[in-house]
Amino acid sequence: MENLNSQSLKKGTKITLFTVGEAMAITCKTESTIHGHNEKGYYGKIKGKRKKVYLINDPQNLLFVGWELPIKADTETNQFIGNARLNLLGNSKEEVKKYVLENAVNLTETIKRMINFVEVTEGYQDNIYTPLF
């Protein structure tokens, strides 16, 4: 969110942030509400929590305005992988790509290279991961 200025996200804005977790390198999805901005960056509350937190200020995070998006992280399924990439899934690869291109607040070439589309498989087969861009 480094390339966002203080006017980009106003107090009360609901956001969804996709990040790569530090411990297991898995895709993490956080829904938050912006409460303000200072020299450290944006801060707010995570959906369902009371404590204020600083939102991770990393240029490799993918940010959307709103909650309940039509795309999900692979960690929201029963199979996921820790590959240090942003693993997203939806109805089809084309729909996910279109949604990301039209709605991501901070989409850069670096972030584009990090995004995988996940094709969820049934049974005990592994999910299929392919680059989105």
Residues 64-122 pLDDT 10s: 999 999 999 999 987 788 899 999 999 999 999 999 999 999 899 999 999 999 987 77
Q: How far apart are CA 110 and CA 15, in angstroms?
A: 21
Q: Could you tell me the pTM of the whole model? A: 0.86
- Residue 11 neighbours by CB under 8 Å, 6+ apart: 34, 35, 36
* Distance separating alpha carbons of residues 22 and 8, to the nearest angstrom: 27
Amino acid at position 105, single letter: V
Q: Is 32 within 8 Å of 46 (Cβ atoms)? A: yes
How would DSSP label each residue in 35-103? EEEETTEEEEEETT--SEEEPP--TT-EEEESSS-S-EEGGGSS----SSSEEEE-S-HHHHHHHHHHH
Q: What are phi and psi of 32, to 5 degrees?
A: -135, 165
Token pair of 69 as six digits: 């998006």
In angstroms, the CA 56 to CA 22 distance is: 11
Give the residue extent of every domain in the chain.
14-131
pLDDT tens per residue across span 8-67 = 688 999 999 999 988 889 999 999 999 988 888 888 898 888 888 887 677 789 999 999
Residue 122 burial (CB count, 10 A)? 5
